[in-house]
């Protein structure tokens, strides 16, 4: 079956299932690998339908990119930067000693310096960051595609998710491989033509422009590649999948 007719069949099937009953949708979604992760068992029916239909319809789509003239004048840095001594010392040293550790289901666990990350292929994009609270801004983000870093460390075939951690303990999150390998998902170190300001996540921030702002974690120093999120489920009440 061609991809197109298969997709039509699944999309049609999901739409019909809306009327015929959620059990049918769950079966279809399961069969085609469209069940979002969970602590165990099946996710809420609503979340499953959202995830499954977005994954089918927007699998290859790009977040909108804007012209430079639409960059927001005074973007709002949400929340406080880290206050601890370690962070202060790293900041005073221009983050020259900042490391990004990449571990888990990878062939070559690696710890990257900021300079190393900056030496890799760079991508800049002007995208919208939307907070779940209703405010948003447009900025230019510069960094290395997460896919490039994952290629360097060699993700194992069974890997399904990337968990990313801030030095701020409460702030960590994860994405599936569709978003991790997406060309617009970046490990950013620049914003609006300058170094990323501390308020917006210096020195490294994961930018996931196809999801809400809370998935774009600031001050990131660790990535973990895994095949299950059971042990890595955020305690926040935000929904895991926040596609926009
Ligand atoms: N480490 C860390 N990452 C974070 C946050 C935070 O407080 N700390 N806030 C999140 C939320 S809720 C949003 S909307 C965006 C806000 O991005 P901004 O601070 O650049 O405006 O960052 C996200 N990433
Ligand atoms: Mo947010």
> Has residue 207 got a pLDDT over 50?
yes
Structure confidence by residue, pLDDT tens digits, 146-182: 999 999 999 999 999 999 999 999 999 999 999 999 9
The DSSP bridge partners found for residue 166 are 220
Beta-sheet strands, E only, within the chain = 99-104, 110-113, 123-130, 136-145, 161-166, 172-176, 186-191, 194-195, 205-207, 220-226
Distance CA 172, CA 62 (A): 24
Q: Give the number of other Cβ atoms within 10 Å of residue 191's Cβ.
A: 23
Residue pair 59/178 in contact (Cβ under 8 Å)? The answer is yes
CA of 93 to the centre of ligand 1 (A): 23
| Site of tokens 């194992």 | 156
| Site of tokens 């085609």 | 32
Distance CA 68, CA 66 (A): 7
Distance CA 111, CA 98 (A): 10
More confident residue, 239 or 104: 104
**Site to substitute for ligand 1 among 79, 129, 165, 234, most atoms within 8 A of C-beta:** 79
* Structure confidence at residue 49 as a pLDDT band (50, 70, 90): confident
**Any idea which of 41-45, 127-131, 236-240 has the lowest mean pLDDT?**
41-45
Give the phi and the psi of residue 5 in degrees, each rounded to 5. -70, -30
Domain ranges of the chain: 3-58, 68-226
Nearest to 155 by CA among 228, 230, 225, 229: 225
* Structure confidence at residue 211 as a pLDDT band (50, 70, 90): very high
Average confidence score pLDDT of the chain: 87
> Has residue 55 got a pLDDT over 80?
no
Of the listed ligands, the closest to the CA of 213 is 1
* Entry pTM: 0.84
> Has residue 40 got a pLDDT over 60?
no
More confident residue, 26 or 141: 141
**Site to substitute for ligand 1 among 216, 219, 222, most atoms within 8 A of C-beta:** 216
The CATH number for 68-226, chosen from 3.90.550.10, 3.40.30.10, 3.30.2270.10, 3.90.420.10, is 3.90.420.10
More confident residue, 35 or 91: 91
The pLDDT of residue 91: 98
Distances 56 to 17, 28, 70 between C-alpha atoms, Å: 15, 12, 30
Give the phi and the psi of residue 225 in degrees, each rounded to 5. -95, 135
Tokens of residue 63, six digits: 């977040």
Of the listed ligands, the closest to the CA of 171 is 1
Structure confidence by residue, pLDDT tens digits, 213-225: 999 999 999 999 9
Q: Backbone dihedral region of 192: left (phi > 0), alpha (psi from -120 to 50 degrees) or beta?
A: left
> Has residue 39 got a pLDDT over 90?
no
Structure confidence by residue, pLDDT tens digits, 103-127: 999 999 999 999 999 999 999 999 9
- Give the nearest ligand 1 atom to 167 CA: 1
């Amino acid at each position: 079956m061609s991809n197109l007719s298969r997709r039509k069949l699944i999309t049609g099937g999901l739409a019909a299932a809306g009327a015929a009953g959620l059990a049918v949708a769950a079966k279809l979604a399961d069969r085609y690998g469209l069940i979002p992760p969970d602590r165990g068992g099946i996710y809420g029916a609503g979340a499953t339908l959202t995830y499954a239909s977005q994954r089918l319809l927007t699998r290859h789509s790009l977040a909108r990119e804007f012209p430079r003239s639409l960059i927001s004048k005074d973007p709002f840095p949400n929340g406080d930067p880290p206050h601890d001594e370690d962070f202060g010392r790293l900041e005073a040293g221009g983050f020259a000693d900042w490391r990004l550790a990449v571990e888990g289901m990878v062939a070559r666990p690696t710890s990257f310096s900021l300079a190393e990350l900056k030496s890799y292929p760079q991508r800049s994009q002007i995208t919208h960051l939307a907070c779940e609270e209703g405010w948003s801004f447009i900025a230019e983000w510069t960094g290395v595609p997460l896919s490039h870093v994952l290629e360097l460390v060699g993700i194992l075939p069974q890997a399904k998710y990337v968990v990313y951690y801030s030095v701020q303990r409460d702030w960590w999150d994860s994405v599936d491989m569709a978003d991790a390998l997406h060309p617009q998902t970046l490990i950013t170190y620049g914003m609006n033509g300058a170094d990323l300001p501390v308020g917006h996540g210096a020195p490294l921030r994961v930018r996931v422009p196809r999801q809400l702002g809370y998935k774009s974690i600031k001050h990131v120093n660790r990535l973990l590649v895994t095949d299950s999120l059971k042990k890595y489920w955020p305690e926040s009440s935000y929904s895991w999948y926040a596609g926009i």
